[in-house]
Amino acid sequence: MAGSAIKPTPLLKDELDIVIPTIRNLDFLEMWRPFFEQYHLIIVQDGDPSKTIKVPDGFDYELYNRNDINRILGPKASCISFKDSACRCFGYMVSKKKYIYTIDDDCFVAKNPSGEQINALEQHIKNLLSPSTPYFFNTLYDPYREGADFVRGYPFSLREGATTAVSHGLWLNIPDYDAPTQLVKPLERNKRYVDAVLTVPKGTLFPMCGMNLAFNRELIGPAMYFGLMGDGQPIGRYDDMWAGWCMKVICDHMGWGVKTGLPYIWHSKASNPFVNLKKEYRGIYWQEDLIPFFQAAVLPKECVTVQQCYIELAKQVKEKLGKVDPYFIKLADAMVTWIEAWDELSSSEEKSSKQPNGTAK
């Protein structure tokens, strides 16, 4: 019926949480209202917990600040970053849902070349609910999309694909560049809309960006730790990269796939390249050791759960990267603390410590 107020039930409505880290009022949600309003939001407030964060009316949400994190996790709260968007992973931990979509508060709804608004969440869900092809590359990209299939020469034994654990989306307008690239290309904007989704091959790492990202929390959640970054740490802006490298090694070990490409969001503003350089410069230097470490990382066959894989990876981080800088010894310890906190919250039947302090009427 034309003009009906009845809204269609969104995909995975009761199985997905949207996690948003923020330091400001969430006015950006107004643009996302048609796509997010029927989902549950978990908002992780960074910085000063006494500051009031305003959320537009009509959204179903929980709001956690630093005081809540300290109350819920106790001494283990030390593993959650402060004054860094890495604090978002606390939202992954307290969620009770199977899937997570996380987005930054400077990301708006993008339009496709036909001028239609992109439902980013719907595309992520489609990515997660269809298989991946990590073992053999299909030159028509995602063979499970409508209008595509496996090309000639693709082994029939591999056409069933692998379970998809992570869907990595991209950005129009402001690209996700590091500080040196920002400085030499201050006016560059990404205007290319590439209508493609592809699986990152097994054994291949990639730079994961956390501003437009979805994953199967039940499957890979314990590996999506965004590290120790920000206040009191020697590095920032490598939180999602760290999670991406750890997650990919574990997905390869467990036989799961990672997709990248669609959906696009509109990244509205570039962060200050000089501030970014201060946060990143050690990471830019260290990554020349980090990438070979993750490329060579092997997990023993005895590791059959993500938690076991992650604890083993933490051990290897301490042994090998601890020689690069003492920070990695601290990070490895935080990785173990993260898993302990994750398991404690997960095993608490009533999760009585989870007391949201801001639910929309």
Q: What's the whole-model pTM score? A: 0.94
Which of the residue ranges 116-120, 329-333, 344-348 would you say has the lowest mean pLDDT?
344-348
The answer to whether residue 5 sits within a structural domain is: no
The answer to whether residue 247 sits within a structural domain is: yes
The CATH number for 168's domain is 3.90.550
Write down the pLDDT at residue 360: 44
Write down the pLDDT at residue 9: 78
pLDDT one-digit tens code per residue, 234-251: 999 999 999 999 999 999
Write down the pLDDT at residue 354: 44
The answer to whether residue 356 sits within a structural domain is: no
- Mean pLDDT for all residues in the chain: 94
Model confidence at 270, pLDDT cuts 50, 70, 90, reads confident
Does residue 165 carry a pLDDT above 90? yes
Using a pLDDT cut of 70, give the percent of the chain over it: 94
Q: How far apart are CA 81 and CA 77, in angstroms?
A: 9
Write down the pLDDT at residue 7: 67
The answer to whether residue 3 sits within a structural domain is: no
Nearest to 248 by CA among 180, 313, 332: 313
| CA angle (70, 242, 82) in 5-degree steps | 25
Model confidence at 350, pLDDT cuts 50, 70, 90, reads very low
The answer to whether residue 2 sits within a structural domain is: no
Mean pLDDT, range 5-18, rounded to an integer? 84
Model confidence at 8, pLDDT cuts 50, 70, 90, reads low
Task: Give 101's contacts (C-beta < 8 A, 6+ positions apart).
Answer: 16, 17, 18, 19, 121, 124, 213, 214
Write down the pLDDT at residue 106: 96
Task: Check residues 32 and 355 and name the one with the higher pLDDT.
Answer: 32
Does residue 355 carry a pLDDT above 80? no
Q: Is 330 exposed, middle or buried (0-12, 13-18, 19+ CB in 10 A)?
A: middle
Q: How far apart are CA 294 and CA 313, in angstroms?
A: 9
User: 264 near 172, Cβ under 8 Å?
Assistant: yes
**Strands 164-173, 257-267: parallel, antiparallel or unpaired by DSSP?**
parallel
The residue behind tokens 């997650």 is 247
pLDDT one-digit tens code per residue, 299-309: 999 999 999 99
The answer to whether residue 7 sits within a structural domain is: no
Length of the chain: 361
- Report the 10 Å Cβ neighbour count for 66: 20
| CA angle (10, 244, 282) in 5-degree steps | 135
pLDDT one-digit tens code per residue, 154-164: 999 999 999 99
The H-assigned helical ranges of the chain are 29-36, 66-73, 89-94, 120-129, 179-184, 217-220, 239-254, 273-296, 306-320, 327-347
Write down the pLDDT at residue 125: 98
Which of the residue ranges 5-9, 121-125, 186-190 would you say has the lowest mean pLDDT?
5-9
User: On the CB side of 93, how many CA atoms lie within 13 Å of its CA?
Assistant: 28
Does residue 149 carry a pLDDT above 90? yes
Does residue 361 carry a pLDDT above 60? no
Q: Is 156 helix (H, G, I), strand (E, B) or coil?
A: helix
The residue behind tokens 């010894």 is 329
Task: Give 349's contacts (C-beta < 8 A, 6+ positions apart).
Answer: none
pLDDT one-digit tens code per residue, 88-109: 999 999 999 999 999 999 999 9
Does residue 269 carry a pLDDT above 60? yes
Write down the pLDDT at residue 1: 40
The strand pairing partners of 168, in sequence order, are: 213, 260
The answer to whether residue 351 sits within a structural domain is: no
**Could you tell me the residue range of the domain that residue 173 belongs to?**
16-345
Model confidence at 184, pLDDT cuts 50, 70, 90, reads very high
> Domains in the chain: how many in total?
1
The answer to whether residue 359 sits within a structural domain is: no
